[in-house]
Amino acid sequence: MKRRWVIPLIVMVILLPLLIFRWEEVAFKTYTNSIAIFEKDRWTGQLYVSQYGGPDDTFYRIPEFAYDYSKKEWDIDKAKNIFHKQKALTAAWWVLLAISAAWLLIEFYRPRREESLPF
């Protein structure tokens, strides 16, 4: 097979848009000194609340389902579980991209064998 470089190229063409279109902004709300943006992670299907600003001018991204509305507080254990899942998916994406890039580079820079003569 002479065109082994096609497979990693196709994988990279699939992987790059996956990262670009991973987050979808669903809604946003402006407060006095901060902005809350509701974003959906298309890989995990989870809704996140990202807050920019505030009194300490920081950034937070917390899974929305980890908020317990009855207690009006965040469930840190639920948030940690989804963050581990999110990090694992992101790491898997990077590993696949690195393997595809390495494979592509090896295919292009590998010395070619001369065709054997039929006699």
In angstroms, the CA 8 to CA 10 distance is 5
Q: Is residue 115 part of a domain?
A: no
Confidence (pLDDT) at 95: 94
Q: Is residue 21 part of a domain?
A: yes
Q: Is residue 68 part of a domain?
A: yes
Q: Is residue 77 part of a domain?
A: yes
Confidence (pLDDT) at 28: 80
Q: To the nearest whole number, what is the mean pLDDT of the chain?
A: 79
Q: Is residue 116 part of a domain?
A: no
Helix axes 6-20, 76-109, angle to 10 degrees: 150
Q: What confidence tens digit (pLDDT) does each residue in 51-109 have?
A: 777 666 666 677 776 666 666 666 777 777 878 888 898 999 999 999 999 988 888 88
> Dihedral angle at the C-alpha atoms of 54, 85, 39, 96, nearest 10 degrees?
120
Query: How many other CB atoms are there within 10 angstroms of residue 89's CB atom?
Result: 15
Tell me the residue range of the domain where 65 lies.
6-109
Number of domains into which the chain is organized: 1
Confidence (pLDDT) at 115: 57
pLDDT band for 22, please (50, 70, 90 cuts): confident
Helix%, strand%, coil% for the chain, nearest 5 = 45, 30, 30
